[in-house]
Structure 1
Amino acid sequence: MERELKEEIIEELKKKELPSELEIKDLIIDKVIDRTRDMTLPIEYKNNLIRDLFNSICRYDILQILLENKDIDEIMVNGPEYIFYEKAGKIYRENRTFENTDQLENIIQTIVGKMNKIVNQAKPIVDVRLDDGSRVNVVLKPIAIDGPVLTIRKFNKSFLKMEDLLIKDTINQEALEFLKLLVRSRYNIFISGGTSSGKTTFLNLLAGFIPVDERLITIEDSAELSIRNIPNLIRLEGRQLDNDNFDTHIDIRKLIKTALRMRPDRIIVGEVRGHEAFDMLTAMNTGHEGSMSTGHANSAKDMLLRLLTMVLVGNDLREDVGVNLIKSGIDIVIQLQRQHDGRKLVGIYEILKNESALVLNTLFERDKLGALIRISELKNQEKLNIYENNQNFKKE
C-alpha cells in the first residue's frame, strides 16, 4: 500500500508548482485517510505510514528515522539490503531495507545534489557534509563491488561533558584533573586512537579547558569540532580537489601556514595523515604551546612511528632531525581505544625530552582489571611550574 500511495502522491505533486512541505504533508494525510477509511487499522500504523511517506518524498527515506535518533552516532549502508548503525559504541543491524538499488541511489543523489556535488561511475567516490554538520561518504560501482556504500557520521549537537565520560568510565577523576592541568599549563597534546575511538569527541572536551581569553584556530579536513567556550575562535576547513581542478584544492598544510599569520595562541589540527605533520610540529615548536592534534594508531608507540614516517616522507630530513622535531613539538600522547563496552582512554604518556630516541614515560594506564591507574609522575614539569607560579602571582 505504501508504494502505491507514494506513486499516486508523486503524480499529483507533478501537477503542482513547487509545493511547500506543509502542502505535501497535507496531501499525504488526505491520501492516507482516504485509502484507509474502510480499514480497521491502529492509529499508530496510520501515523507511521504518514511519516514514512513524508520521509520518502521530502527527506532521506528510511534513513531519516536513524538520522533523527540522537543516540545513533553512525549509519552504514552496504547496498540496499544491509543497513547498520552504531549506538553507544555497539553496531546494530536495521530491520528495514531499501526496496532496490535504484531507491538507494536516488537517496544518495538527493544527499549529494543538495551539497552541489556529483557522484557517478566516472567519479564514484565523494565526501560531503550535511547541513547539520554530519559527514557523508559515498562509494559507487565499480569501486564498490556489491553496490552503493553510504556512510554517515552524525554530528553530535549536544555538548558532551567530561562528567558523561566519567559515568561511562572513559576516564576517571584523577586522570581528568591531570589533563585539565596539562591543558591549562600549555602542554602540547596529541590524541591517538583507532577508527571511531572517540578522538574528535575527546579533543572537543580538552579544548573546553582552554582559557577563554586566548585566541584559538582550528584546522580540519572536514569540520567536526564543536568548541563553544572560546569567543576568539577561528575555524578553518580544507577544500577538496573538485573535478581535477587543482586551483580549488586547499590542503591542511596551506591552512596551517595561513593560521600562523593570524596570531594564534594555540592551534588545533583535527587530524594529521601525511605531510602536514611537519607543519603542525613546526607550529608547536614556534611559540604556539598548548596546541593539540589527533592521529590514527593502535598504540602510542605506533603513533610516534607513524608521525616520524609522515615527517620524513616528502620533507628530505634525516631521521634524527625528525625525531627531535617530534620530541620538541609533542609533550603528551593520549591513547584511546574502542572496546566492547564503549570508548576508553587506555593510556596517558609523556615523551621524554632527554633521550636520543622516541621514548615514552607511562603516566596513566589500564591495569588487568581495566581500571585506569597512575603509573608514574610527570618528568618534564617546566610548563607546569610556570603555570603554577603564574597562578600564585595572580592570587597575590
Structure 2
Amino acid sequence: MRELLAQERATATGAAVVEAVRRRPEAAALGDPALLRVADQVHADLVGAGPLAPLLGDPRVTDVLVNGEEVWVDRGGGLQRCQVELGGVAQVRRLAQRLAAATGRRLDDSSPCVDARLADGTRVHAVLPPVAVSGPYLSLRTFRARPFTLADLIAAGAMSEPLAELLTAIVAARLPYLISGGTGSGKTTLLATLLSLVPADERIVVVEDAAELRPGHPHVVGLQCRTANVEGAGAVELRELVRQALRMRPDRIVVGECRGAEVADLLGALNTGHEGGAATLHANTPHDVPARLEALGLLGGLPRPVLHAQVAAALRVVLHVRRVGAARVLDEVCLLRLGADRLVEADPVWQREHGGAPAAVVLADLLRQRGVAVPELLAAAERTR
C-alpha cells in the first residue's frame, strides 16, 4: 500500500512540474519546440505511456501489446512486430504499475492483474509475473475521440449503402438488437455508430464494465462498474448498474457487453417498455447467440424455458460482425424467433455471401408495423419470394 501511495504522489508531483514547464510564458512566446518536445517526453515518462506514447498517438493504431520486451501493434491490418526500446522488463513492470495507479487501481505481487481505463479513454489490461509466464504483459486499446459514422464504415468497406439503410431503419423502428462477434471484430465501433442515429430528444443510458462507448449523441448517460478496494469492499457490479439504469428515465438502455448474470436484468428491462435497447455479445456466429444467452441466463437464475421466452419477447435483431483478413465487416443480419420446440433460433435476414434470406420478409413486416419505410434491401428480397 505504501508503495502505491508513494507512486501516486510522485506521479502527481511530476505531472505538476511538467504542466508548469508547458505553461512557461517564454516557451509560448518564443515557440520553443525543443522545450515543448522535452516537456511532452517527460510527461509521457511520468504520467503517460512512456515509450509507447508515440504509438498510441498514431491515429491508425487500434491496439498496442507488450509481451515482456516485445511490442506488437495493430494498425488495422493485423498485428505486426514493432521495434521499441522499453529499457528492460523492470521498466515495463513500472510502466504497467504507473498506468494502473493513474486509474486508482493496484498492481503488484498480491494483485497481479488489472483492467482499467485511462483518463483519455484508452483501455489498459496488465498482468505481472508469475501469473504472466514470460511477462509482464500489457494490452492497450486506443480510444477514438471522434465516433464513426455510417458513411465512415461504408468507406472502410464494413458495409454497403443498402445495408446502412437497413440499419438506420432498425434504429428508427426501435427494434432491440444485439451485436455479436469475436474479440476485436468491431462490435463496440458499430454499436457507437448506431447509437449516434438515435433521435436527439431521446435519453440513452449506457452501462459498461469499463467505459468505452462514446456515441455522437447529445444525451448519453454512462454508468461504469467499480472494482473492490484493497479491503475487498466497494465493488459495484454490472447487474446492479442495469437495475439502477431503470430508475434514470431511459428511453434506450444499452449494455456495452453482456458477459454474465446481468443478461437476466437486461431482458427484464427490455420487456418492461424500454424499446430500442442494445448490447454486444461474444459469439462465433449469430446462430450461437441463443446458446450464449442461455448460458448467461442460467447464471442469472433463469430456467431454460423462461430464458428463451424472455429472449423472444425482448430481442429482435442480431447483427454479426467479423474480421475478414484485415477488414472488420458486418457479416450477417438475423432475426431471433421462437422455433417449433419453443427455443429461440436465429433466422438469417441477410448474409454477406448470399444476400437476402427468407426472414427478410418478416423483418419488413415488423418495420411496417412500426411505421418505418421498408429499405430497398428488404423490398428486393420480398420481390423475389
TM-score bracket for the superposition, by shorter chain length: 0.7 to 0.9
Tell me the residue number matched to 1:7: none
1:145 aligns with 2:130: no
1:298 aligns with 2:284: yes
1:242 aligns with 2:233: no
Larger Rg: 1
Query: Which amino acid in 1 is paired with 2:321?
Result: L
Cα pair 1:89 1:338 within 8 Å, conserved? no
Tell me the residue number matched to 2:67: 78
Tell me which moved more, 288-297 or 157-166: 157-166
Give the one of 261, 276, 295 matched to 2:247. 261
1:288 aligns with 2:274: yes
Where 1:335 maps in the other structure, the secondary structure is: strand
Query: Which amino acid in 1 is paired with 2:98?
Result: T
Cα 1:354/1:263, change in 2 over 3 Å: farther
Cα 1:244/1:300, change in 2 over 3 Å: farther
Partner Cα distance (1:22, 1:182) in 2: 51
Cα 1:218/1:49, change in 2 over 3 Å: closer
Give the one of 314, 338, 342 matched to 2:323. 338
Tell me the residue number matched to 2:237: 251
Partner Cα distance (2:299, 2:18) in 1: 54
Tell me the residue number matched to 1:327: 312
1:340-376 deviations in Å (ceiling 9; x for gaps) = 1311111000112464222222111121xxxx72223
Tell me the residue number matched to 1:125: 113
The root-mean-square deviation of aligned C-alpha atoms, in Å, is 2.8
Partner Cα distance (1:83, 1:25) in 2: 33
Tell me the residue number matched to 2:5: none
CA drift of 1:339 comes to 2.1
1:92 aligns with 2:80: yes
Tell me the residue number matched to 2:167: 179
Cα pair 2:18 2:43 within 8 Å, conserved? no
Query: Which amino acid in 1 is paired with 2:55?
Result: L
1:70-97 deviations in Å (ceiling 9; x for gaps) = 1101110011x21011111411111123
1:347 aligns with 2:326: no
Cα 1:58/1:121, change in 2 over 3 Å: closer
Query: Which amino acid in 2 is paired with 1:112?
Result: A
Identity, % of aligned positions: 29
Query: Which amino acid in 1 is paired with 2:303?
Result: R
Tell me the residue number matched to 2:262: 276
Spell out the pairing of 1:1-396 with structure 2 (5 A cutoff).
19-21=17-19, 23=21, 55-56=44-45, 59-79=48-68, 81-231=69-219, 233-246=220-233, 248-315=234-301, 317-353=302-338, 355=340, 356-367=342-353, 373-376=355-358, 377-380=360-363, 383-388=366-371
Cα pair 2:92 2:136 within 8 Å, conserved? yes
Where 1:270 maps in the other structure, the secondary structure is: strand
Partner Cα distance (1:19, 1:50) in 2: 9
Query: Which amino acid in 2 is paired with 1:269?
Result: V
Where 2:362 maps in the other structure, the secondary structure is: coil
Cα pair 1:83 1:97 within 8 Å, conserved? no
Where 1:359 maps in the other structure, the secondary structure is: strand
Cα pair 2:169 2:373 within 8 Å, conserved? no
Where 2:344 maps in the other structure, the secondary structure is: coil
Query: Which amino acid in 1 is paired with 2:362?
Result: K
Cα 1:390/1:22, change in 2 over 3 Å: same
CA drift of 1:242 comes to 2.4
Query: Which amino acid in 1 is paired with 2:126?
Result: V
Cα 1:273/1:128, change in 2 over 3 Å: same
Where 1:261 maps in the other structure, the secondary structure is: coil
1:108-128 deviations in Å (ceiling 9; x for gaps) = 222122223221111101122
Cα pair 2:47 2:99 within 8 Å, conserved? no
Partner Cα distance (2:164, 2:332) in 1: 12
Query: Which amino acid in 2 is paired with 1:67?
Result: L
In the comparison of the two structures, how many residue pairs are matched?
Answer: 351
Cα pair 1:133 1:155 within 8 Å, conserved? yes
CA drift of 1:51 comes to 7.1
Partner Cα distance (2:202, 2:46) in 1: 47
Cα 1:53/1:380, change in 2 over 3 Å: closer
Partner Cα distance (2:106, 2:248) in 1: 34
Cα 1:134/1:295, change in 2 over 3 Å: same
Query: Which amino acid in 2 is paired with 1:117?
Result: R
Cα 1:95/1:189, change in 2 over 3 Å: same
| TM-score, normalised by the number of residues in structure 1 | 0.81
Partner Cα distance (1:166, 1:98) in 2: 38
Query: Which amino acid in 1 is paired with 2:325?
Result: H
Partner Cα distance (1:89, 1:242) in 2: 39
Tell me which moved more, 158-167 or 331-340: 158-167
CA drift of 1:212 comes to 1.2
Task: Identify unmatched segments of 5+ residues in structure 2.
Answer: 1-13, 28-33, 375-385
Partner Cα distance (2:267, 2:58) in 1: 39
Cα pair 2:183 2:282 within 8 Å, conserved? yes
Query: Which amino acid in 1 is paired with 2:86?
Result: F
